[in-house]
Each structure stands twice: as structure tokens, then as C-alpha cells.
Chains A and B, each alone.
Chain A
Amino acid sequence: MKPNNTPLQPLKYFLNFIFIIVIMAVGLNITGILFLPFFPESQFLADLLGVPFFKWEFAIVALIISSIVLHLGFIYSLYVFKKIIVSLFKSPLFSHFQILSLKLLGQLIILLVVAKSLFNIFSDMIFGKSELAGIHIFSFDSKLMAICLGLFFIYLSYVFKKAKELKDENDLTV
């Protein structure tokens, strides 16, 4: 049983687009870090790395590296999501791979949201700025919504697992 591919097509293109943009952004961040030893006072590099100013302090360097790790985590999540979508196109529905990947994606989303929240708290402590003004608790870009999404993916994995059991049973019905 293969899904109707048409509704998935825009999602596939959109994911590919985001994937390329994020890879370019992380590439720029890493390039910025490589140039930082030569231009430590550069405001452009500080902006590129997403910090108000740069100093050779352990906390700031650790924050920038954490930011890149978070971005790499986001890239990996997108990669897993892309793999799921490709799998929905090419493989039959309810495969073992899809079940595991959906669960992994849900766990990654929750982990990254929690890590990003901790990152914001440390960032506020170091740079003395408040992210509270930017928090939209009751909108789709809120962290609570992202955690809901992560939990939903984990539940979707459970649904796929149950569906696989039913499919196997159906295949063995004579």
C-alpha cells in the first residue's frame, strides 16, 4: 500500500528548501568562527554568530559552540524528517524504518527545544538581555507548541506501530 503522493509533494519541496537554507546558515556560522581569531572586534562576525558582541571569554565561546551544536541538531532533525518523507514516497506505509524514525524525530524535537531554552537562559545571563519579550506562548512558534509537536510525532510512531501490526495480521489472513 503506497500513499497518495500528491499532498506530500509540497512538504518535500519545502523541507528541501529549509534544509539548504539551514546548511548555508550553519556553514556561514562555522566560517565566522574560523575568521574570529583574526577579527575579534568585528561587529559583522558577532552579528553572524548571533551574539551582541564578542570577547575571548570561555562563556561566550562556549555559547557560540553550543549554538552551532544546536544548529547541527536541527539539521539532523530535518534530515530525519526528509528521510521519513522520502520513505513515505518510496516504501510501503507503516514500515519499521518509519516507526523508528518518527519516534526519533519526536525525541529530537523535544530535546532540541529543551536545549534551546537552556541556551536562551545562559545567553540572557551572559549578555544581560531578556528573551522573554520574544516568547509567544500562545502561538504556533512557541516552544510549548514545538514540544506538543514532538509528542505528537512520538504518538504517530505508536500509531504506525499499531498499523503495522494490523497490516501484518491482514497480510496473514487467508
Chain B
Amino acid sequence: MPIIINLDAVLEKRGMKSYALAEAINITTANLSILKTGKAKAVRFSTLEAICEVLDCQPGDILEYVNA
């Protein structure tokens, strides 16, 4: 898929673990794993908003379009 998820990189910058983020944004670690591995078909605005709020970043920091 040409949309790349850079969540791992942002998490590393913030020094935050995946399970802590999952807990903070109230989703399961399994769903967060689906998002991180790029298997997700869609992301809810509410989830994106929660991620940006917790990680103090912009949606563009997490999502990147790569011309395939």
C-alpha cells in the first residue's frame, strides 16, 4: 500500500512503548499492531486524533504517502 505508517519511529522518538500508547488511546494492542504493520484498511479520525494528542504530533508525522 502506498500509505506508510511511521508510528514506530514516532514512538521511538517519544520513548514510548506500544502497549502504553494502546492503553492511552483506549485500543487493543492487537489493533495497534494491525495499524503499525500496515494491515489496517482504515483509521478512524477519533483514533488518529487520540494518537496525535498522546504523542503530541501531526497526522503527517504518522502517515506518509509513497508513490508506488
B4 contacts chain A at the CB level, 8 A cutoff:
no
Contact of B47 among A168, A169, A172, A174 (CB under 8 A): A174
The size of the chain B interface, using a CB distance under 8 A, is: 12
When chains A and B are docked, how far (Å) is the Cα of A174 from the Cα of B46?
Answer: 10
A173 contacts chain B at the CB level, 8 A cutoff:
yes
- From A165, which residue of chain B is reached at the shortest CB distance? B41
The size of the chain A interface, using a CB distance under 8 A, is: 5
Contact residues of B between 4 and 53, Cβ < 8 Å to A: 27, 31-32, 34-35, 39-44, 47
Interface string of A137-174 (1 = CB under 8 A from B): 00000000000000000000000000000001100111
Q: Which residues of A contact B27 (CB under 8 A)?
A: 174
Asked if A173 contacts B44 (CB within 8 A), the reply is yes
Asked if A173 contacts B43 (CB within 8 A), the reply is yes
Q: Which residues of B contact A174 (CB under 8 A)?
A: 27, 31-32, 34-35, 40, 42-44, 47
When chains A and B are docked, how far (Å) is the Cα of A169 from the Cα of B34?
Answer: 12
- From B47, which residue of chain A is reached at the shortest CB distance? A174
Taking the closest CB of chain B, its distance from the CB of A173, in whole angstroms, is: 4
Q: Which residues of A contact B42 (CB under 8 A)?
A: 169, 172-174
- From A169, which residue of chain B is reached at the shortest CB distance? B41
Taking the closest CB of chain A, its distance from the CB of B62, in whole angstroms, is: 12
Given contacts A174-B32, A174-B40, 11 further A-B contacts (CB under 8 A): A172-B34, A172-B40, A172-B42, A173-B40, A173-B41, A173-B42, A173-B44, A174-B27, A174-B34, A174-B42, A174-B47
Binding site for A on B (CB under 8 A): 27, 31-32, 34-35, 39-44, 47
What 10 A-B pairs come out closest when comparing CB atoms?
A: A172-B41, A173-B42, A174-B35, A169-B41, A174-B40, A174-B31, A172-B40, A174-B47, A174-B43, A174-B34
What are 11 A-B contacts defined by CB distance under 8 Å?
Answer: A168-B41, A172-B41, A173-B40, A173-B41, A173-B43, A174-B32, A174-B34, A174-B40, A174-B42, A174-B43, A174-B47
